[in-house]
Amino acid sequence: MNHATVHDAVITGAASGIGLDCCGDLLERGWRVFALDRASGELAGARERFREAADRFVPIECDVSDASSVATAFERIGAMTSSVDALICSAGIFRTGSLLAMAESDFDAVFAVNTRGAWLTARAALPLLEQAARPDAPARIVFVASAAALRPKAGGGAYAASKVALTYIARVLAVELADTGILVNAVAPATVDTPMTRKLSADAAHSGYTVSGVSPLGRVAQPADVTSVIGFLRSPGANYRAGAVLPIDGGTTAAFQPK
* 13 vs 65: CA distance, rounded Å: 12
Beta-carbon count within 10 A of 243 CB:
18
* 109 vs 131: CA distance, rounded Å: 32
String of DSSP letters for 153-167: -TT-HHHHHHHHHHH
Angle, alpha carbons 149-155-160 (nearest 5°): 15
* 128 vs 84: CA distance, rounded Å: 5
Which are the catalytic amino acids?
Answer: 159
Give the type of residue at 196: M
- Bridge partners of 34? 10, 58
- Please enumerate in sequence order all residues whose Cβ is within 8 A of that of 209, keeping only pairs 6 or more positions apart, or say none: 96, 97, 153, 155, 156, 200, 203
